[in-house]
Structure 1
Amino acid sequence: MFRVKEFAWINILKPNFKILPIKDRLLCGIGALLGLSLSSFMSWLALGHLNAWYIAPMGASSVLLFAIPASPLAQPWNMVVGNSIAALIGVTCALWIPNQTEAFSIAVALAIVLMMSTDSLHPPSGAVAITAVLGGKAVQDLGYAFLFYPVLLNSVLLMVVAILYNRLLGKQYPQPPQLNTRTADPTPTQKVSIQPADIQQVLEAQSQLLDISEYDLQKIILEAQHLANRRSISQFCCADIMSAQVISLCADEPIQTALDKFKQINLMSLPVVAKVEGAEHLVGTLALYDVVEWFKRAADPKATWEEHVYQIMNPQVVTVKPQQPIQDLVPYFVERSFNYIPVVDDKKLVGMISRADMIAALNQQIYQMQKTT
């Protein structure tokens, strides 16, 4: 009987890759099924008279778009531009190089160079270049039209399905640029920790491409550092620092009344509650700028007249639980410039934490750390 250690060398061959839960794996497979089915059906409707209405490399593209949509290689630019470049090079090589082996070898090599030069590297595009050379009579008859159909048509259709499906699952696709929108400076957390320039300097020293964006890499490092910092200090929980006496708005009260409250307490936003079985459940937030926008709409005779708070409030609210550590709130106050965060227990509004509450608590933690050193 072989011992497990004798097979330990196999781990060298395996990727250091996270295995998703079975639910997420099934969702990735379902996404590929829907993407390929819908895009191929629409291609068939558009190009049913052609034998080459769909190409096999789209199967490889679906692996990227639905299984790892956060990969830089799976972004729409890479999908569309990479496949288009490969198709153009492949058709050109097929027309001018008689030997097929030489034709598809040169086509793939040139496609790689051009894709890397245009920041549109997409691995399945290598198969697109080969298909342009070895696709048979149906592809050869198309000539340069092969670039537009089926390649560009397939790519755009599959990309659209991927965007809709991933967003339906709550995934960001395509990946938005993650920048400090206020200034060109690093974000407040980055200033006292790892900065984008640090990541760029390390990556520039690498001689190979990494299948992860600079921002994602930076985000992972910062979150790991945040967890490490939490272990090194005593923690307050949200219930320790929250204000239990909360000024709120009722969902069905008039907007004019809400404006009066804003004038009295000089706050930029207030939580909105609704009575459910005698308890005040948090249902949204109303910011002062929402009221200003309401005034602008009210001046337009064509606009519908809105009278109650629930008609203009924001129902999407970031909340925390009473026993949650306050370190979880730092990214919202620092990176996203929140002024207040509601504390909710079983949908009931039980308190509010302000930026001042956080500063006082963190200052106390710093003081305690200095006493112990």
Structure 2
Amino acid sequence: MFHSKAAWLNTLKPNFKVLPLKDRVLCGVGALLGLSISSLISWLALGNLNAWYIAPMGASSVLLFAVPASPLAQPWNMVVGNSIAALIGVTCAMWIPNQTEAFSVAVALAIVLMMTTDSLHPPSGAVAITAVLGGKAVQDLGYAFLFYPVLLNSVLLMAFAIFYNRLLGKPYPQRPQVNIRSADPTPTQKVSIRPVDIQQVLERQSQLLDISEYDLQKIILEAQQLANRRSLSQFSCRDIMSRQVLTLRAEDDIQSALEKFKQVNLMSLPVVGDLDRLVGNLALYEVVEWFKRAADPKASWENHVYQIMNPKVVTVRPDQPIEDLVPYFVERSFNYIPVVENQRLIGMISRADMIAALNQQIHFLKEKA
């Protein structure tokens, strides 16, 4: 009996991913800091105003810091949705004497207009109600309520959310996962599920899904890659990497680095420090940009590789399967990926290495069939 009740209760729960404790705490810290800082700035700007901060910002912070990937949490939704709701709420408060009717109509109209402008933001419903039930302080403001505190609160909280989420490495606002080189589908999409396929399925849906089309594409493609791995023989990065790697030293003179580029005809080279620890990557275009700045007195101090290199490098481990590298070579047009073990550069995998390995896997599958 108890088991059946527990099973029934589970049907009421959302099918939602539970984040690790550390991530949950960071979401809470983000809301704490975001609300505190935006509230303080609002108070400094509107200190003599009774309605200097509004409660719906608490609901907005849940979206901005707990689920920033949600389409409902994007900056457009936050600012435009709250502004529309405030405008409708103030108008209804002025023209509809009965408060129950006023806030009911305000929320209904706000939903329709937000969905029409693609700015749906659930906390905005509370903004509309606040405009009606906020008391004399809000009523005295009239349409100024839209600009302060609503727009001021929204912009401040949104600005901190952008800073905080990016500080944690979360992409916010969400950006479309599209082919940056042309309007065509990406190379992987051409031979698998395409964006237009997902669009057609979503158009048949009769309800709004709280996930962006771009995230849905990414999830489907990554799931497909995992499925494809199960049908392929496994090569590791160690199996196909080149062990003799041409490198630059961090303290090398930039002129000498250019000479090395000329010798090998490569577009980028890894940069190592003591004990062959990988410390960065220098692309040929960065050397070209350095030459363009040569006449600028401010850039005269740049003489060594470490001063113009990119310290952020995508690397792989020697025991990783080569399928992990496909998105970098296909979607992001990488030419080389360093192989690192204990922070030391031990090899390099080129696009040619990948083509040779995948070609071998194709032959393997043909023979197996």
Alignment match, 1:69: 68
Pairing 1:211–2:178 present: no
**Residue identity (%):** 81
Unaligned runs of 5+ in 2: none
Write out aligned runs for 1:142-221 (5 A). 142-221=141-220
Q: C-alpha deviations, 1:294-346, integer Å up to 9, x for none?
A: 11011334533321111111111000010010000000000000000000000
Deviation at 1:66, TM superposition (A): 0.4
Deviation at 1:167, TM superposition (A): 1.0
Partner SS state of residue 68, structure 2: coil
Alignment match, 1:243: 242
- Count, aligned residues: 369
Quote the Cα distance in structure 2 between the aligned partners of 1:242 and 1:173: 35
Pairing 1:358–2:357 present: no
Partner SS state of residue 352, structure 1: strand
Quote the Cα distance in structure 1 between the aligned partners of 2:303 and 2:310: 15
Deviation at 1:5, TM superposition (A): 3.0
Quote the Cα distance in structure 1 between the aligned partners of 2:298 and 2:64: 43
Alignment match, 2:322: 326
* Paired AA for residue 179 in structure 2: N
Quote the Cα distance in structure 1 between the aligned partners of 2:101 and 2:113: 18
* Paired AA for residue 262 in structure 1: F
Partner SS state of residue 82, structure 1: helix
Alignment match, 1:108: 107
Is the CA contact 1:250–1:274 (under 8 Å) kept in the aligned structure 2?
yes
Write out aligned runs for 1:362-373 (5 A). 362-373=358-369
Provide TM-score, normalisation by structure 1: 0.97
Indicate the larger mover: 224-233 or 297-306.
297-306
Alignment match, 2:287: 291
Quote the Cα distance in structure 2 between the aligned partners of 1:187 and 1:290: 26
Partner SS state of residue 269, structure 2: strand
> Could you say what the CA RMSD is over the residues aligned between the two structures, in angstroms?
0.9
Is the CA contact 1:252–1:308 (under 8 Å) kept in the aligned structure 2?
yes
Alignment match, 1:135: 134
* Paired AA for residue 158 in structure 2: M
Unaligned runs of 5+ in 1: none
Partner SS state of residue 283, structure 1: strand
Is the CA contact 1:298–1:305 (under 8 Å) kept in the aligned structure 2?
no
Alignment match, 1:272: 271
Alignment match, 1:19: 18
Deviation at 1:3, TM superposition (A): 3.4
Alignment match, 1:29: 28
* Paired AA for residue 284 in structure 1: G
Identify which of 314, 318, 339 aligns with 1:343: 339
Deviation at 1:176, TM superposition (A): 1.9
Q: C-alpha deviations, 1:227-285, integer Å up to 9, x for none?
A: 1111111110000000000011111111111111111111111111112xxx2111111
Quote the Cα distance in structure 2 between the aligned partners of 1:328 and 1:84: 44
Write out aligned runs for 1:45-64 (5 A). 45-64=44-63
Quote the Cα distance in structure 1 between the aligned partners of 2:242 and 2:338: 10
Quote the Cα distance in structure 2 between the aligned partners of 1:154 and 1:98: 28
